């Protein structure tokens, strides 16, 4: 018996494209003599379809596409993920289902039991939990078919106040009673550089606990802010990963049941380091955002600083230098080295760049506002005017030439509000809004791993917004090493202030940082979508009230 794993890149609501991907993979599996091909969770609709699931016509299109794909399943069976209608008189109107297609029809249906509602997930909003657990008999094998979270029943809900399991039901424990031969798990598991190891450990633990092999099929590609890394795995009955599909790439691979059950397969490549995975994730996020919105070109405000330099490099890698342009907008406070570094980077990447000095425009604003500002000191207001002038210029080029403006704010800045609303926070997509400043430096060095692309001075100089004479980021913020340690513990780990510790961290600094995080929620509420690479990014994964005081 042969089994094919199809790790593909789906587009939400693009039924024609998704059907073509799936049918092409089925044909390839047939040519390899495969008996079964496995696709990922909600591959028919694309993941996550969100409130499109409330549309009757959308669900009808899902059902129709399944029927059409089933007709291609002659001489081969396929497992696909799709929303299906709950025909019971009670409960939500849909199930999140895995369907076994064979000889032109649906022969088996499994409904997802564990519906996550944490972080970016809100599946219980749409789906009714499955409550029946049956193995699937297929060509002499008994298959325990599960959907993503159904194998995550033992993950702990862990904070300062309680430690307990998140779920009260274990689908796999129920399926084990029927003595399955293999576990198949179809998933749409978004990438998080802090969770790749944990995800694999979940699957390894299940195989080891139940002493049966496991195949996990994850999707790849990106849909808006969510990035999927693929990295589907095969685990033997000892809990050892015997094969891993590539990260952030489509792949269709066929294996014999003997290879899977004997554990003769071998992991073909060393697992990439976290910074390499983050780099690949961001490039994938940019590429698919543009491809799936039918945009081709982008523009970036290039300052000579490390953030805009990094975003420009990522954009060129994703879209090509011909589809990327830069605008340099020096002011009276811009250092000569910053302009020089920005020009050098643009030339190295062969990117079209323009220079507009904002001095005349800034002077005009100063003169117009002089009667209103008479008797006041120059402070952050004048700094923000410069940032907003730059945003207007960038958006003008965006409108004129159809270029999407890529935002260059990092997570450290976004966390504490170190950015100007309608200024440097503008953009259609926030590329590094989930990347702490410390990791911005690591990514820059990774890009320079073979040769100098980002000028070394850009990496080593003290960071500054250059909006007033001699300005440094540390005038307003702790050193980024300290700041990022506090932010990570407060945002990702959700520690209370008194539990946040580390080298150079003290109580007053923690209190100041947390005050800045909470105060600037309104800015993040209006920010562009952020490419998610962590377990707790700004956006749908972190929902905070704007008017709270806590």
Query: 268 to each of 8, 242, 265, 377, 401, how far by Cα in Å?
Result: 19, 9, 9, 64, 44
Active-site residue (options: 41, 123, 225, 413): 41
Token pair of 75 as six digits: 């001489």
Helix-then-strand count for the chain, H and E? 16, 21
Q: How far apart are CA 280 and CA 276, in angstroms?
A: 6
Determine how many CB atoms are found less than 10 A away from the CB of residue 10. 27
The tokens describing 30, both together, are 């047939």
Of 134, 74, 122, 57, which is closest to residue 96 (Cα–Cα)? 122
Residues, the chain, total? 550
Catalytic residue, candidates 43, 62, 73, 148:
148
Name the phi and psi angles at 85, rounded to 5.
-80, 135
Catalytic residue among 2, 43, 73, 112: 112
Cα 484 from Cα 496, distance rounded (Å): 16
* Kind and range of the H or E run holding 228: strand 226-229
**Rounded (5°) CA angle 287-290-294:** 140
**Helices 56-70/15-31 angle, 10° precision:** 20
Cα Dmax for the chain: 87
HSE on the CB side for 460, CA within 13 Å?
A: 5
| C-alpha–C-alpha distance, residues 289 and 281, integer Å | 12
Do 495 and 160 form a contact (C-beta atoms < 8 A)?
yes
- What does the alpha-carbon distance between residue 257 and residue 261 come to, in Å, rounded to a whole number? 6
Q: Are strands 324-328 and 297-301 parallel, antiparallel or unpaired?
A: parallel
Q: Partners of 255 in the beta sheet?
A: 3
Active site residue 250: no
148 is catalytic: yes
Whether 302 and 326 have beta carbons less than 8 Å apart is answered as yes
Separation between Cα atoms, residue 242 and residue 260, nearest integer Å: 8
Please, where are the H alpha helices in 435-479? 437-447, 456-460
CB 87 within 8 A of CB 46: no
Which SS3 state, helix, strand or coil, does residue 173 take?
A: helix
CA distances from 184 to 216, 244, 399 (A): 6, 15, 48
Does residue 351 sit in helix, strand or coil?
Answer: coil
Active-site residue numbers?
Answer: 41, 112, 148
């Amino acid at each position: 018996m042969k089994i094919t794993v199809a790790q593909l890149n789906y587009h939400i609501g693009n039924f024609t494209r998704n059907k073509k991907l799936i049918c092409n993979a089925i044909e390839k599996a047939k040519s390899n003599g495969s008996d079964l091909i496995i696709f990922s969770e909600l591959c028919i609709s694309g993941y996550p379809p969100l409130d499109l699931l409330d549309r009757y016509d959308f669900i009808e299109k899902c059902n129709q596409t399944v029927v059409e794909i089933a007709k291609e399943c002659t001489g081969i069976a396929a497992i696909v993920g799709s929303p299906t209608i709950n025909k019971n008189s009670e409960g939500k109107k849909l199930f999140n289902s895995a369907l076994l297609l064979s000889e032109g029809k649906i022969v088996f249906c499994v409904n997802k039991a564990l519906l996550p509602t944490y972080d970016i997930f809100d599946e219980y909003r749409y789906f009714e939990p499955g409550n029946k657990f049956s193995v699937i008999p297929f060509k002499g094998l008994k298959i325990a078919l599960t959907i993503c979270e159904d194998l995550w029943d033992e993950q702990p809900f862990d904070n300062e106040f309680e430690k307990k399991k998140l779920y009260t039901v274990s689908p796999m424990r129920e399926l084990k009673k029927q003595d399955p031969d293999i576990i198949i798990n179809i998933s749409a598991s978004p990438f998080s550089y802090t969770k790749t190891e944990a995800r694999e450990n979940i699957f390894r633990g299940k195989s080891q606990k139940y002493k049966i092999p496991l195949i996990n099929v994850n999707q790849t590609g990106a849909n808006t802010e969510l990035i999927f890394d693929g990295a589907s795995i095969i685990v033997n009955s000892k809990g050892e990963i015997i094969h891993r599909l590539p990260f952030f790439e489509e792949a269709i691979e066929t294996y014999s049941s003997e290879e899977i059950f004997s554990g003769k397969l071998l992991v073909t490549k060393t697992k990439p380091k976290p910074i390499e995975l983050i780099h690949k994730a961001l490039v994938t996020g940019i590429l698919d955002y543009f491809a799936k919105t039918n945009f081709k070109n982008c523009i970036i405000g290039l300052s000579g600083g490390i953030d805009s330099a990094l975003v420009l490099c990522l954009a060129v890698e994703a879209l090509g230098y011909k589809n990327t342009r830069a605008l340099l907008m020096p002011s009276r406070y811009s250092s000569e080295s910053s302009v020089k570094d920005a020009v050098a980077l643009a030339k190295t990447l062969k990117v079209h760049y323009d220079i507009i000095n904002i001095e005349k425009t800034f002077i005009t604003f100063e003169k117009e506002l002089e009667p209103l500002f008479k008797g006041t000191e120059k402070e952050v207001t004048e700094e923000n005017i410069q940032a907003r002038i730059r945003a207007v210029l960038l958006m003008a080029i965006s409108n004129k030439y159809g270029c999407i403006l890529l935002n260059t704010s990092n997570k450290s800045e976004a966390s504490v509000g170190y950015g100007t609303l309608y200024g440097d926070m503008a953009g259609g997509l926030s590329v590094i809004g989930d990347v702490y400043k410390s990791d911005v430096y690591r990514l820059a060095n990774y890009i320079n791993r073979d040769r100098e692309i980002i000028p070394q001075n850009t990496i080593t100089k003290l960071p500054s917004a250059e909006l007033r004479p001699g300005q440094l980021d540390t005038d307003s913020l702790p050193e980024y090493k300290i700041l990022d340690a506090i932010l990570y513990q407060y945002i990702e780990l959700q520690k209370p202030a008194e539990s946040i510790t580390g080298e150079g961290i003290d109580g007053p600094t923690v209190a100041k940082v947390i005050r800045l995080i909470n105060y600037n929620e309104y800015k993040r509420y209006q920010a562009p979508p952020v490419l998610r690479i962590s377990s707790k990014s700004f956006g749908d994964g972190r929902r905070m009230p704007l008017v709270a005081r806590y």
